[in-house]
Amino acid sequence: MQKFFAVLAVLLLAGCSTTENTHTDSQCIGQMTTEEAYGHLNPERFTIQVLALTEERQADVRNYINHIQGQQPIWVNWKKSSSGRWYAVIYGDFATKDEAKAVIDRLPEAVRQQGPFIRSFAEVQSDKQTDVFRLR
Question: In this structure, what are the phi and psi dihedrals at residue 116, rounded to the nearest 5 degrees?
Answer: -60, 150
Q: What is the dihedral of CA 91, 97, 98, 102, to 10 degrees?
A: 20
Q: In this predicted structure, what is the pLDDT of residue 6?
A: 47
Q: In this predicted structure, what is the pLDDT of residue 60?
A: 64
Taking the C-alpha atoms of residue 60 and residue 112, their distance in angstroms, rounded to an integer, is: 14
- 8 A C-beta contact, residue 58 and residue 10: yes
Report angle CA 97, 133, 10 to the nearest 5 degrees.
115
What's the burial of 86, exposed, middle or buried (CB within 10 Å: 0-12/13-18/19+)? middle
Q: In this predicted structure, what is the pLDDT of residue 129?
A: 59
CATH number of 31-134, picked from 3.30.70.20, 3.30.70.1070, 1.10.40.60, 3.30.460.10:
3.30.70.1070
Q: In this predicted structure, what is the pLDDT of residue 82?
A: 78
Q: In this predicted structure, what is the pLDDT of residue 19?
A: 37
Which regions in the chain score pLDDT beneath 50?
A: 1-15, 17-27
